[in-house]
Chain A
Amino acid sequence: MQLKTRERQGAHTRAALLALAGTLALFCWQFLTVHYTMAAIGPACSASRAGCPFPIS
């Protein structure tokens, strides 16, 4: 029984770590695309970050 509980906790921890890694990867991608690609979308955006589009479409 104890082993089963430990296995289940291990699965939750692994899943949480994977989820964290995946979320971080998506965040980095969003940051990179806004930083390197979206800045070229218009003069307002290039001049000031405040003018950058939301959402990043």
Chain B
Amino acid sequence: MPVPDFLKSEQLYHFSHGGYDGMVYHLIAHDPWMRKGSADVIASAPFRYQRILVPALAWLVAFGQDRWIHPAYFGVILAFAFLGVYWLSLFASRAGVSPLWGLAFILTPATITSVDRMTVDIALAALTAGFALYASESPDWRVLVVLACAALTRETGALLILGYAAYLFAQKNIRGGLLAAATAVPAAAWFLFLSHGQKSTLPGYGGLVPLAGFVHRVARPLRYRHFSALERLAAHALDLVALAGVALALFYAVRLLVRRTWDGRAAVIYVLALSVVLLRSGAVWFDAYAFGRVLTPFLLLTAMVSMGARPLAAFLPMLLVDARIGLNFVTQITGVFRGLTRL
């Protein structure tokens, strides 16, 4: 990705493979209102600019000053880590398990990848925890703020609104349903402004054949051409473990359905589970780094709803996905270990 002129002074490192999504959000944080040329160098700029919350918060914290964007962006990511642990810990207390389970938020695939690569998924993960905590039969301002922020963080955050509003309408809580649905308005207005009347690329991410994307990834493993034989074996095995984690979470969702669990959180889980089943995009299913962070709201919410009885089993799907993500950290872990021990 080319660097716009106003950022040449930052001497950004260029990755030979093109880099990762976090680079894009860093550029957006420098130029959230598209006045400096960032939108011209970002591929699919309207799609990327949809995810405005984290970059805009970083821009606000930095008072729009380019030289403060880096610490501000890191600060915003860490602030969402704080919120995620805080909300999950409170939820755990109310579910009757140890508040220490709040620290499980650090192990969500979205947290791990966002802390490593500055993607915005940690924010949606934290907001999902906030939603689980504040969702009730009659929505108050806290859950409404959480939902509005979720849709502005990532377009997938709108699924939380869809599930919760549908539940409230089904309960004949028309006022609550309308209020929940209204939380989509800021994001919808922003998306409309960005699209300039062009069709969204989002429909291309789904398909009508259930589990087509999931089955494709299981049947056709990645090739890992640059790996050694041992590394390739480990990566292939852990890829399957990660996909088994997704399958287990889907099983938990089906179990909730069979037990006729019906409340605001369960309704959102059903919507998220359906989106996983219909998710076809090869880019999302590419590896655990990609699908792990995108599916984190589903994995986390399913775990939270199930954590009252057996918390470890509830978080197991997430931990299985983490196992594959952890393989990507071997270089970093050994690097840090060597650095600290001077070996």
Contact = CB atoms under 8 A, between A and B. Distances in A.
Contacts of A14: 89, 93, 99
Chain A interface residue bracket vs B: 35 or more
B86 A19 contact: yes
Interface in B199-236: none
Contact of B89 (A15, A40, A42): A15
B78 interface: yes
Contacts of B335: 33, 36-37, 40
Q: What secondary structure prevails in chain A residues at the interface with B?
A: helix
Contact of A22 (B23, B106, B336, B340): B106
Contact of B340 (A25, A36, A52): A36
Contact of A57 (B20, B84, B86, B106): B20
Contacts, number: 114
Given A20-B82, A52-B13, A36 B93 contact: no
A26 B11 contact: no
A51 B13 contact: yes
Contacts of B192: none
A22 B78 CA distance: 9
Contact of B78 (A26, A36, A40, A45): A26
A19 B23 contact: no
B115 A11 contact: no
B117 interface: yes
B102 to A, nearest CB: 5
Interface of B is mostly: helix
A55 B118 contact: yes
Contacts of B79: 23
Nearest to B92: A15
B116 A36 contact: no
Interface in A3-53: 11-12, 14-16, 18-23, 25-27, 29-30, 32-33, 35-37, 40-42, 44-45, 48, 50-53
A32 B115 CA distance: 12
A13 B111 CA distance: 23
Interface in B74-133: 74, 78-79, 81-87, 89-90, 93-94, 99-100, 102-103, 105-106, 111, 115-118
15 contacts: A15-B86, A15-B89, A19-B82, A19-B85, A19-B86, A23-B85, A25-B106, A27-B78, A30-B74, A35-B339, A37-B332, A54-B10, A54-B13, A56-B117, A57-B19
Interface of A: 11-12, 14-16, 18-23, 25-27, 29-30, 32-33, 35-37, 40-42, 44-45, 48, 50-57
